Amino acid sequence: MTATAHTPRVFSGIKPSGDVTLGNYLGAIKRWSEMQGPTFETIYCVVDLHAITVWQEPSELANATREVTAAMLASGIDPEKSILFNQSQVHAHAELAWIFNCVARVGWMNRMTQFKDKAGKNAEQVSLGLYAYPALMAADVLLYHATHVPVGEDQKQHVELMRDIATKFNNDFKAPDFFPTPEPIIEGPSTRVMNLRDGTKKMSKSGDSDMERINMTDDADTISKKFKKARTDPEPLPETLEGLKDRPEARNLVDIYAGLSSTTPETVIAEYAGAGWGRFKPALADLAVAKLSPISSEMARLMNDPAEIDRILARGAERAEEIAQPILEKTYELVGMLRTR
């Protein structure tokens, strides 16, 4: 069997840590919603085991998990079409991650740029989980024999590593093509949404200032204010995309506009060539409010009924487990573990 002989299946995940940002929405959740349909089976996971690789307040974690779930549901992820669940409810993730900890090499982990960025000068003090994080991520995807992984640009290296883990496992245990080598899907204008105050840094949930990111829960006034205050250069928008080279903040706002309106940066430039920020920023703010307000109101409505969110996650976890458990059992068998029941 070749890797392509595996059922086309999408898996992706998001951490319940901090607010869901416009980067998460454009780089991931919006695209996940668009991938539901006849081509792929789609499995989306709120990865709470990943979240605790850095400290999460226990009293807040459950609610953060519900909030990310609400953001996904409000953005069009349909629990009838997709399997939607939180990671810790399907034990097989942690179990397969352990096996992959024993397959992956320390040298591979040492090359992970995200670990280096997150650990910084503090590498001796961060959790062992943060270091082993990419092996858990590989387990998430390979547990379902998923073939495609839609993510933002920042996750590319982790998806490449899971391909290495799959290949090494298949070789070590003489099981050709048991695990597929999943393809990253990093497409569209918004695979790297940047910080609104510094166009060379990624927009992230954990940045210092709230003004540098748009949160999915921001109200219309806050969204408008943040875009109006976003850093830019004094030049108007150029005639062609080439003219945005070396203008990271300007490029970012054009990309965000393209992502929100589901078009291309070229189309945005064609429409706004020569426009100053006094025209472009209010247009972008209006577009963002028009697209995000319905999502944030739906999130608020869903968060008023946590029991319904919990039911959706419970059902999703049951469906996920039906796929995961036989693959985990087969993995144990290939590794040679004694199974007596």
- So which residues are the catalytic ones? 118, 202, 205
> Which of 35, 43, 137, 323 is close enough to bind ligand TYM by CB under 6 A?
137
Q: Report yes or no: 109 and 130 within 8 Å, Cβ to Cβ.
A: no
- Asked if 20 touches ligand TYM (CB under 6 A), the answer is no
Contact call for residue 155 and ligand TYM (CB under 6 A): yes
Binding status of residue 84 toward ligand TYM by CB under 6 A: no
Beta sheet of 9-14, edge-to-edge order: 82-86, 41-46, 9-14, 148-150, 183-185
Residue nearer to ligand TYM on the CB measure, 141 or 223: 141
Does the footprint of ligand TYM cover residue 47 (CB under 6 A)? Answer: yes
Q: Are 193 and 255 in contact (CB under 8 A)?
A: yes
Distances (CA, A) of 139 to 133, 182, 227: 10, 12, 38
**Sole binder of ligand TYM in the list 3, 6, 9, 14 (CB under 6 A):** 14
Q: Which two tokens stand for residue 81?
A: 């079409």
What is the token pair recorded at 33?
Answer: 């919603």
Residue 244 tokens, joined: 């945005």
CA atoms within 13 A on the CB side of 268: 25
Query: Min. distance of Cβ 234 from ligand TYM in angstroms?
Result: 25
For residue 3, count other CB atoms closer than 10 A to its CB: 18
For the chain, give me the number of helices (H) and strands (E)?
14, 5
Per CB under 6 A, 323 contacts ligand TYM: no
The yes or no reply on residue 143 touching ligand TYM (CB under 6 A) is no
Among 28, 74, 185, 284, binds ligand TYM (CB under 6 A): 28
Among positions 196-235, residues that touch ligand TYM (CB under 6 A) are 202-204
The footprint of ligand TYM (CB under 6 A) covers 11-15, 23-24, 27-28, 47, 50, 137, 140-141, 149, 151-152, 154-155, 190-193, 202-204
